[in-house]
Amino acid sequence: MTFGHVGPGKTPSDAVTFDHAGPHGWRITDVAVPAGAPFTAAAEEAYRKDGGVGYRVKVTLKKDAPPGIFQETIHLKTNDPTAVRLPLLVHGSVLRENNFISLRLGEVKPGKTLIRRVAFPGTGPFKVVGIDGHVRVTLAAKQLAQARTVTLQIDTPEEEGPFRYESLIMADESEVAAVVVIEGDVTGK
């Protein structure tokens, strides 16, 4: 289950349904969320009919979830001795205040490589340790730890029309620096 990049104080929810074919008495008896996880989880029976049972597992991010990347495994305990615990991986990132950066490119040519510097809010230096997101957005050069800017290489689409890329710039100590939203319009002119 993926939450993506979530702003601070937001409490999005997501749900997944577990379908079990087999004995009518099968049940999820408990939902074990790791201590300190930035979310809550609950399971409720969705249906019960001949040959199958379904449970809906809902996960909600906590309002006070700390900034940073999270990846935790929930264990769904069942009454089935052959599969007592079912794992459910939950991951995403919680951003700090004002850590969405918008980069508007305007009209661009198809299939071009652009280099753009992006300034990050806040004070003090940080070291960029990686980028995750759209494959057409990469780090253009070695990033300096003393700077508050990041240089990105952006490859525009081949097709004409509007486009939107979203990339997560990760900083040292497993904290999220920011999400950069890049928008433009490819024209053949």
Q: What confidence tens digit (pLDDT) does each residue in 141-165 have?
A: 776 666 678 889 999 999 999 999 9
Round to whole Å and give the CA distance between 41 and 43.
Answer: 7
Q: What integer is the mean pLDDT of 33-56? A: 93
Q: Which of 120, 137, 1, 132 is nearest to 59 (CA)?
A: 1
Q: What confidence tens digit (pLDDT) does each residue in 75-131 have?
A: 999 998 888 899 999 998 887 766 778 899 999 999 999 999 888 766 667 778 888
> Where are the chain's structural domains?
2-94, 100-186
Looking at residue 38, the DSSP 8-state letter turns out to be S
Superfamily name and number for 2-94: Immunoglobulins (2.60.40.10)
**How many CA within 13 A on the CB side of residue 52?**
9
Predicted local confidence at residue 176, as pLDDT: 59
Tell me the CA distances in angstroms from 169 to 80, 100, 128, 174, one per residue in order. Answer: 43, 10, 7, 11
Residue 24 has a CB neighbour count (10 Å cut-off) of 10
Does the pTM of the predicted model rise above 0.85? no
Looking at residue 65, the DSSP 8-state letter turns out to be P
Burial 91-101 (b: 16+ CB within 10 A, else e): ebbbbbeebeb
**How many CA within 13 A on the CB side of residue 70?**
27
Whether CATH 2.60.40.10 fits 100-186? yes
Confidence of residue 132 (pLDDT cuts 50, 70, 90): confident
